[in-house]
Chain A
Amino acid sequence: MSHYAFTFQGEILHALASGALFWPKQNLFCVSDLHFGKAQRYATQGGSTLPPYDTLDTLTRLSDDISNTMARTVICLGDSFDRVGASDDMDDQAHDWITRLQAGRDWLWIEGNHDPGPIGLGGIHLANHTVGSISFRHITDQRTRGEISGHYHPKVSLKLSKRNVSKRCFIVDEDRIIMPAFGTYTGGLSVLSEPLVSIMKRNSTCILTGLQALPIPRPNAT
């Protein structure tokens, strides 16, 4: 699977083209902002009825990644569900699918701002989690170092001869990694927008996702 390997806090990590992160030494797989049930939340609030296949599509990609990496530990870095109660509205098929994925692995749900309460699925629920020198939480805590978080859905635009290409991306500096959103219907925040610009150091790297995982230096904010 296409990935970009880099060193963070002395550990080798793989940024996968799918937008997930893999830590081979720990056999640990991490995704952020799955936003299960987003289309449905939109409909409940009087918005339009978007194609209701986002949960299915997100699960399909998640499942492919997990079986490819054969990870022992899975961390979902918050906002796994688009709202409190979304897990109850999930259809049986999706419910069973998650249960199957959880079999034989440690599965950690980190709390996010969209899904703070406990949810009716297996796995362990935590506010944050630390493995060795690296901590995992949903929203970055700028006082910590060696931290992996999500929440902002970073994306970056690149000029290719005559066209602009916009991709979801990881953004990485020596202290922290902010992960792209994994959910099918998630939008993005430009890495050149606040607060991402202030959070990340000037010399940070963006790792583009899509068909390939490709690193670029973060473009300069104008």
Chain B
Amino acid sequence: MRALNPQIDAWFTKQGWSIHPHQQDMLDRAQDPATLLIAPTGGGKTIAGFLPTLNELANGDHQGLHTLYVSPLKALAADIKRNLRRPVEDMGLPIRIEDRTGDTSATRRKRQRADPPHILLTTPESLALLVSYEDAPRMFKGLKRIVVDEIHALAESKRGDQLMLALSAIQVLCPDLHRVGLSATVEDPDAIAHYLAKHPDPCDIVHADPGPDPDISMLQIAEPPPWAGAGANYSIPAVLEQIKAHKTTLIFHNTRAQAEIYFHNLWLANEDSLPIGIHHGSLDRVQRERVEAAMVRGDLRAIVCTGSLDLGIDWGDVDLVIQIGAPKNVKRLVQRIGRANHRYNAPSKALLVPANRMEVVECVAALHAVKKHDLDGDPRGAGPLDVMCQHILIRACAGPIDPDTLYPEIKSVGTYSDLTRAAFDDCFDFCATGGYALRAYDKWKRLMQRPDGLWILRDPRSSQRIRMNIGTIQDTDTLKVRMKGSRGRKPLGEVEENFAASLTPGDTFLIGGQIVRYERLREMTVEVTRRADKKPKVATFSGTKFATSTQLSQRILRMFQQDSWPELPAHTADWLTLQRGSSTLPRPGRLLIESFPHDDRSHTVVYGFAGRNAQQTLGLLLSKRMEELGYDPLGFVATDYATLFWGLKPVADPDALMNTETLEHGLEQWLAGNALIKRTFRASATIAGLIERNLPSQRKNGRQATFSSDILYDTLHKYDPDHLLLRITKQEALRGLVDFGRIRDMLDRTSGRIDFVTLKRVSPLAAPMFLEMGRVPIKGAGEERLLAAETAALMDAAGLG
């Protein structure tokens, strides 16, 4: 057993603490190349990660950087800085701790490069930027340890891939680097260990005591939830009662727009004026920090929030978590529940509030899963090539590179351990010449080979551009929202450019809990005035719509097979019984398709249970197929469970409709021009460095500074269909917004076993779908027709028709 430095030991004693077994474990493994710690929130995880560092730095001998700490949030880096400095000062240790994020001033950043602190707290993007500098070897000299916090969140994203690529470069500079990962409870710890360690180094996994099971249930509300929708307004009185009965309550929502609406309605009903705040990623940083500070002081009784509070900042005394809307994903639910009760060994308390009847079933299924510790997650697959392209360019910024040494270096990253040399060479060629079938840039390569065989940037100016474009977060272009006449003061927050473009003066929307009136767009800022209306036009600004996980969907299908449902509220159990009587319930391993007339239209419902994105894609693909088969479809709407189509003729041959080959072929054709695919392409092309980000400074003058990614996509598709970026786009389309991978899985799972039911009227299970938002009209030549009609109307209105 490794002993603690006496000063640290004394401090522990003074606090009346003894070292937790997992903290001792981490200390004992200080010399292992990689260790993964899995601990619940409040388990002293951060201290466990830093103990070996403090121990090694206590004698004051170490010069320069010793430990890098990387977290997914800037706020978390700042939070850890505060929480680490205090004990270090109390212990009287000679340790300098600083953070470095996008918010750090340029002077301080420069000084940090010349004279790095002992412990540097940073984010993946800031670290990638450090790796791109020529002086990186000096900066990282002597680095011993790296602590990756909230590694379970990073391991799921391209930000995490970028981080591990940056580490592979640092590892070359510091061969005896020790890696530590700190993770919340996950379904597959081995995958995270593989992600963390330098391949093929071993990585031991330390499990802290997970603590008692959470106290989790559905919030009992007298009124049944509505049939459809995601608002959960019916729950407001009951939720207010819960807020009153607890000290601090976190109220999680799945999207920012829902959080805004719920917050607004909560305040309309908040007769006691309980202090309730709102926190989500579209709000201005200053406003978020105000809410965070009020929360830490204990001034707030409740915070309406989104995923922006998912990660481990210590928010003080939260004693209740309420999840509004189905959790969609059991793992995330468990991690959210962990936000309540930060005291170790006290159960977290959580309540679920389904927003509609189907979500009641999903919530109950999720409760079962939590009790069984059955977490969900989809394996992420091999490391994405667009991120690797960016890494190659970043490495070229720092100095000459040699593909023969860079290739094994990248293969040492867990997620890239299966990378073939051919795939690497493709990416390298893309970085150097664009990788086109037409070799047009041999004279104007981006990377060129020197006589000594090493590759450098042909034009030194390009390093500046590459650095400006570091990062993998897809910024949907957002615009600041500001009160009219408040120039120079802090903006209220941000909305998506698309949303801003859909506004006309006089429209009202919610932001930060206020209703504001859109006045005008001025220099890329949305100017608004305050309004006291009761009904705002809804802000549909971003916030990812999560799809229900495969595991949770399967659980629901299994639940459907029960003879009765004593665990469900009567209103929901009756609904399922009715469906069983008049049609049939969807079954695992089979695909239910219902066909019925309604309102003079033929309706078809495909219960794929493949998640929202995949059901949406299925809607687009099947509507094309229906058009080919002569069913004259007119539109569709998708939920997490099913897609509802309406059209002029009933579906006669479901097997022809659901044929895997034709659907795959449909996807191929669809790749030619669908807007979702183009968005996917744009994301990858930006990450890979083909197009530059729309930087705010360039957008000011109104002239487009960057190339339209749609035009580039069309051009590539037409002249170079086998280009690397199109291959990457196709790969990406299997996940994310398009999620074709889940359609393929669904088709494999059901493999032609279709339950085709023809009914005289709408089935009970289908009925709520008629109330769903987001109906998609089927286009074809539709957009051009719409355009012609709209332009004719405008000419008429102007008296020019």
Interfacial residues, chain A to chain B (CB-CB below 8 A): 39-40, 43-54, 56-57, 91, 157-162, 164-165, 184-185, 187-190, 193-194, 205, 208, 211-212, 214-217, 222
Question: Measuring CB to CB, which residues of chain B are less than 8 angstroms from any residue of chain A?
Answer: 433-434, 436, 438, 440-441, 444-446, 457-462, 465, 498, 501-502, 505, 520-521, 689-692, 702-708, 711-712, 715-716, 718-720, 723, 783-784, 786-788, 790-791, 794-795, 798, 800
- Cα–Cα distance between A189 and B699 once the two chains are bound (Å): 11
Q: Which residues of A contact B716 (CB under 8 A)?
A: 51, 53
Partner of A57, one of B462, B505, B718: B718
- Beyond A47-B465, A50-B707, A190-B702, whether A212 also contacts B719 by CB under 8 A is no
Query: Can you list 20 A-B pairs, Cβ within 8 angstroms, ordered by A?
Result: A39-B440, A44-B444, A45-B459, A47-B462, A49-B441, A49-B444, A50-B712, A51-B719, A52-B434, A91-B440, A159-B501, A160-B786, A164-B502, A187-B708, A189-B704, A194-B702, A212-B787, A217-B795, A217-B798, A222-B520
A105 to B505, CA, bound (A): 51
Q: How far is the CA of A208 from the CA of B723 in the complex (A)?
A: 32
Q: What residues of chain A lie closer than 8 Å to B501, measured between beta carbons?
A: 157, 159, 164
B708 contacts A40, CB within 8 Å? no
Kindly list 18 other residue pairs between chains A and B, CB separation below 8 angstroms, not including A40-B444, A212-B788: A47-B462, A48-B689, A50-B707, A51-B436, A51-B712, A53-B438, A53-B719, A160-B783, A185-B715, A187-B706, A188-B704, A189-B703, A205-B800, A212-B787, A214-B788, A217-B798, A222-B505, A222-B520
Q: Which of the residues A48, A53, A91, A188 comes within 8 Å of B691, measured between beta carbons?
A: A48
Asked if A212 meets B784 with Cβ closer than 8 Å, knowing A49-B434, A53-B719, the reply is yes
In the complex, the answer to whether A162 meets B691 with C-beta atoms within 8 Å is no
Contact between B718 and A52 (Cβ–Cβ < 8 Å)?
Answer: no
Q: Are B787 and A187 in contact (CB under 8 A)?
A: no
* Alpha-carbon gap, A219 to B789, bound state (A): 16
- List A contacts of B462 (CB < 8 A): 46-47
Name the one of B461, B521, B704, B787 contacting A45, with C-beta atoms under 8 angstroms. Answer: B461
Q: Is the CB of A216 within 8 A of B446?
A: no
> Which of chain A's residues have a CB closer than 8 A to the CB of B446?
43, 46, 48-49
A49 and B441 alpha carbons, distance in the complex (Å): 7
Distance between B189 CB and nearest chain A CB, rounded to angstroms: 39
User: Could you say which residues of chain B place their CB within 8 Å of the CB of A208?
Assistant: 787, 791
Q: Tell me whether A40 and B440 are in contact (CB under 8 A).
A: yes
- For B798, the chain A residues whose CB sits under 8 A away are 217
Give A91 to B439 CA distance when docked, in angstroms. 11
| Complex partner residue of A162 from B459, B502, B520, B692, CB under 8 angstroms | B502
Bound Cα distance from A161 to B787, whole angstroms: 10
Q: Is A185 within 8 A of B465, CB to CB?
A: no
Knowing A43-B446, A165-B783 touch, does A50 contact B434 (C-beta < 8 A)? yes
Contact of A187 among B461, B689, B690, B707 (CB under 8 A): B707
Q: Could you tell me if A216 and B715 are in contact, using CB atoms closer than 8 angstroms? A: no
| Contact of A46 with B718 in the complex, beta carbons under 8 Å | no
Nearest-Cβ distance from residue A90 to partner chain B, whole angstroms: 11
Complexed CA–CA distance, A205 and B794 (Å): 11
- In the bound complex, residues from chain B placing their C-beta under 8 Å from that of A185 are 707, 711-712, 715
CB proximity of B601 to chain A, nearest CB, Å: 20
Query: What residues of B have a CB within 8 angstroms of the CB of A52 in the complex?
Result: 434, 436, 438, 440-441
Q: Are A43 and B444 in contact (CB under 8 A)?
A: yes
A57 to chain B, nearest CB (A): 6
Assess whether B692 is in contact with A48, with CB atoms less than 8 Å apart: yes
B282 smallest CB distance to A (angstroms): 20
A165 and B690 CA atoms in complex are apart in Å by 24
Chain A residues with Cβ under 8 A from B703's Cβ?
187-189, 193
Tell me whether A214 and B434 are in contact in the complex, defined as CB-CB below 8 angstroms, given that A184-B711, A188-B704, A189-B703 are known contacts: no
Hey, which chain A residues are within 8 Å of B502, CB to CB?
159, 162, 164
The 7 closest A-B pairs by CB, nearest first: A49-B434, A46-B459, A187-B704, A52-B440, A46-B462, A193-B702, A43-B444
Residue of A nearest to B781 (CB): A211
The residue in B690, B702, B784, B787 that gathers the most chain A C-beta atoms within 10 A of its C-beta is: B787
Least Cβ–Cβ distance between A170 and chain B, in angstroms: 13
**Docked CA distance A49–B436 (Å):** 9
Q: Which residues of B contact A44 (CB under 8 A)?
A: 444
**How distant is B298 from chain A, measured CB to nearest CB, in Å?**
44
CB-nearest residue of chain A relative to B691? A48
Which residue of A39, A54, A158 has the most chain B CB atoms within 10 A of its CB atom?
A39
Nearest A residue to B504 via CB reads A159
A189's contact among B498, B702, B723, B784, by CB below 8 Å, is which?
A: B702
Complex CA–CA separation, A57 to B438 (angstroms)? 13
- The docked-state distance in angstroms from the alpha carbon of A184 to that of B718 is 13
Question: Which A residues touch B705, using CB under 8 A?
Answer: 187
The answer to whether B787 touches A214, judged by C-beta atoms less than 8 angstroms apart, is yes
Does the CB pair A158–B441 fall under 8 Å?
no
Q: How far is the CB of B788 from chain A (nearest CB, A)?
A: 6
Residues of B within 8 A of A165 (CB): 783, 787
Give min CB distance, B607 to chain A, whole Å: 26
- Cα A150 to Cα B501 in complex, Å, equals 27
- Whole-angstrom distance between the alpha carbons of A215 and B797 in the complex? 13
Q: In the complex, what residues of B have CB within 8 A of residue A194's CB? A: 702
Measured between C-beta atoms, what is the minimum distance from B459 to chain A in Å? 3
Asked if residues B784 and A211 are in contact (CB atoms below 8 Å), the reply is yes
A212 to B787, CA, bound (A): 9
Q: What is the bound-complex CA distance between A50 and B706, given in angstroms?
A: 11
| Residues of chain B contacted by A187 (CB below 8 angstroms) | 703-708
* B-chain residues with CB within 8 Å of residue A49 when the two chains form the complex: 433-434, 436, 441, 444-446, 690
Question: Which residue of B has the minimal Cβ distance to A203?
Answer: B798
* Of A45, A57, A162, A205, the contact of B715 (CB 8 Å cutoff): A57
Residues of B within 8 A of A184 (CB): 711, 715
Complex: chain A residue closest to B786, CB-CB: A160
**A52 and B723 alpha carbons, distance in the complex (Å):** 12
- Measured between beta carbons, the chain A residues less than 8 angstroms from B440 are 39-40, 52, 91
Q: How far is the CA of A155 from the CA of B723 in the complex (A)?
A: 30
B689: A residues at CB distance < 8 A: 48
Tell me whether A46 and B458 are in contact in the complex, defined as CB-CB below 8 angstroms, given that A217-B795, A217-B800 are known contacts: yes
Across the interface, name the chain B residue whose C-beta is closest to A152.
B703
Q: Report the Cα distance A194→B700, complex, angstroms.
A: 12
Q: Taking the nearest CB of chain B, how far is it from the CB of A194, in angstroms?
A: 8
Chain A residues positioned under 8 Å from B438 (CB to CB): 52-53
CB distance from B121 to the nearest CB of A (A): 32
Bound together, the chains give a CA A39 to CA B786 distance in angstroms of 34
The answer to whether residues A46 and B791 also contact, given A51-B715, A159-B502, A185-B711 and a CB cut-off of 8 A, is: no
A50 to B692, CA, bound (A): 11
Which residue from A48, A54, A190 sits with its C-beta under 8 Å from B690? A48
Given A46-B461, A217-B798, A222-B505: A158 and B787 interface contact (C-beta under 8 Å)? yes
Enumerate chain A residues within 8 angstroms of B461, measured Cβ to Cβ: 45-46
Residue ID in chain B nearest A194 by CB atoms: B702
A187 to chain B, nearest CB (A): 3
B789: min CB distance to chain A, Å? 9
Complex contacts, A188 vs chain B, CB 8 Å: 703-704
How far apart are the CA atoms of A211 and B779 in the complex, in Å? 15
A165 to B438, CA, bound (A): 32
Least distance between A36 CB and chain B CB atoms (Å): 13
Q: Which residues from A are CB-within-8-Å of B520?
A: 222
Residues of A within 8 Å of B800, CB to CB, are 205, 215, 217
A3 CB, min distance to chain B CBs, angstroms: 14
CA of A125 to CA of B783 in the docked complex: distance in angstroms? 41
B706 contacts across to A, CB distance below 8 A: 187
Residues of A within 8 A of B790 (CB): 158, 160
Using Cβ atoms and an 8 Å threshold, which residues of chain B touch A190?
702
List chain B residues, Cβ under 8 A from A53: 436, 438, 715-716, 718-720
